[in-house]
Amino acid sequence: MAELDSAEEVHTEMSATDRIVVLKQKHASLETALEDENKRPMPDSSVVAHLKREKLAIKDELLRLHSA
């Protein structure tokens, strides 16, 4: 239980700037995964759609953090 409490503290103590950095890294990682999937001979459309949705959600959160 103590581990969960400390993990929650770290998450709540993360600054907006730190959160933005992490989100940008995740967005870049998803972009790479999307490019890799699209380079396959027969890309899986459900994987592509999932990756695009995740990227969009991150982009929306980044915009929200920038405007806060």
- The 10s digit of each residue's pLDDT in 1-54 is 445 555 555 555 678 889 999 999 999 999 999 999 999 999 999 999 999 999
Tokens 């400390």 label which residue?
Answer: 6
State the pLDDT at residue 33: 98
Which structural domain, as residue segments, surrounds residue 30?
2-67
Q: How many domains does the chain have?
A: 1
What is the DSSP-derived secondary structure letter of residue 8?
A: H
Say yes or no to pLDDT of 62 above 90.
Answer: yes
Q: Which residues have C-beta within 8 Å of that of residue 51, sequence separation ≥ 6?
A: 30, 33, 34, 37
